[in-house]
Amino acid sequence: MNGRVFIIGLGLIGGSLALGIKAKHPHCSIIGYDVSDQNVKLGKMLGVIDEKADSIMEGALDADLIIISTPVKETEIIMEMFGELPLKKDVIITDVGSTKGRIMEKAELLSQKGITFIGGHPMAGSHKSGVTAAKSLLFENAFYLITPDNFTDEDKVKCLMNWLGGTKAKFLVITPSEHDLLTGVISHMPHIVAASLVHQADQTSKTNELVTRLAAGGFRDITRIASSSPAMWRDILLHNKEVLLKLLKDWQDEMNLVISLIDEENAEGLFTYFEDAKKFRDELPKNQKGAIPAFYDLYVDVPDYPGVISEITGYLAKEAISITNIRIIETREDINGILVISFQTDEDRMRAQKCIAAYSNYDTTIEK
């Protein structure tokens, strides 16, 4: 397909969508806009975009496809702006936000003016951010939720999926309300729970300083998503208010059940509670991308001596294997430490495991 694609927001998601579109439609023109002029310059220098727009109006007027890759609050403002612009008759506008209720309300105003808006949500990300981290296959095998309203022409939906086909994502067409329920359960609630666990640890640490020291291991791992953008999660929770209030009340009932099982010393009930959770969790797809970016961790047993970390990273550098994060979760005198290396993909992790085995005799493990 030829045509002009205008992407608003040149971060990880917007940049990766640009590269995915270009992969399938090399003859189209990608125009980019970002509040950060530096992001735009980097995007053009890296070949993520072909042209830059000095304003949203400038980029939107001649676009055949417009992708709004901004926080949900800004997306609403931009959509209101589009209602006042003389856009092309057949333009398709989509977004990448993780809530859809209020966004689709704004879409009704566009629909009344004959403008097609189709909600979108690519359910994949990375621990890296910014246009420099953009990858054409960031969304490969990830679910890409498409949320048209009841009046959207099916051909328009097919056209949008054709534009986005180079991402190699798995498209799933659902209603906006179903989208907000699903993401509320498997993305928004886990972030709330992670943040609440951190708050509890913080309060306890004020009377017991050992909390901070002991929380550096597994606790840090299960609460990693609490390090996400506070501004983003503030907006997401406010936009998905009704769904989350219901889910939080259900969570309170769940915790009340656990309280009663412990209080009554119901050993059989507690065993069943954890057994059922384990069974459901173990049956979840292992190699499928979900709403929360996966952590591809490799655990390396290494001796505690100066230079061991640079030794390991040196092996990986020789094989051009990029790492996302690295840390030690246990170091004691005369006892092997545990070096945890995080990777962006499972493929990189497997390559790293083979690499370390080839260059050293250090044991490596991948936890399930």
Structural contact between residues 126 and 344, judged by C-beta atoms closer than 8 angstroms:
yes
For residue 128, pLDDT over 90 is answered with no
Same domain as 169, residue 88: yes
- Reported as a single tens digit per residue, the pLDDT across 231-252 is 889 999 999 999 999 999 999 9
Cβ atoms within 10 Å, residue 135: 16
Q: For residue 310, what are its two tokens? A: 């640079």
As for how many domains the chain has, the answer is 3
Residue 330 sits in a domain whose CATH number is 3.30.2130.10
Same domain as 160, residue 211: no
Same domain as 75, residue 204: no
Same domain as 163, residue 261: no
- Reported as a single tens digit per residue, the pLDDT across 81-97 is 999 999 998 999 999 99
For residue 320, give its domain range.
296-365
How much is the pLDDT for 81? Answer: 93
> pTM for the complete prediction?
0.80
Over residues 120-145, mean pLDDT? 84
Write down which residue in 174, 201, 222 finishes a domain: 174
Residue 228 sits in a domain whose CATH number is 1.10.3660.10
- Reported as a single tens digit per residue, the pLDDT across 146-197 is 999 988 999 999 999 999 999 999 999 999 999 999 999 999 999 999 999 9
Three-class HEC string of the chain: CCCEEEEECCCHHHHHHHHHHHHHCCCCEEEEECCCHHHHHHHHHCCCCCEECCCHHHHHCCCCEEEECCCHHHHHHHHHHHCCCCCCCCCEEEECCCCCHHHHHHHHHHHHCCCEEEEEEECCCCCCCCHHHCCCCCCCCEEEEEECCCCCCHHHHHHHHHHCHHHCCEEEECCHHHHHHHHHHHHHHHHHHHHHHHHHHHHHHCCCCHHHHHCCCHHHHHCHHHHCCHHHHHHHHHHCHHHHHHHHHHHHHHHHHHHHHHHCCCHHHHHHHHHHHHHHHHCCCCCCECCCCCCEEEEEEECCCCCHHHHHHHHHHHCCCCCCEEEEEEEECCEEEEEEEEECCHHHHHHHHHHHHHHCCCCEECCC
- Reported as a single tens digit per residue, the pLDDT across 286-322 is 666 666 666 788 888 887 778 888 999 999 999 999 8
Write down which residue in 234, 258, 282 finishes a domain: 282
Q: For residue 48, what are its two tokens? A: 């993520």
Residue 41 sits in a domain whose CATH number is 3.40.50.720
- Tell me whether residue 67 is in a domain: yes
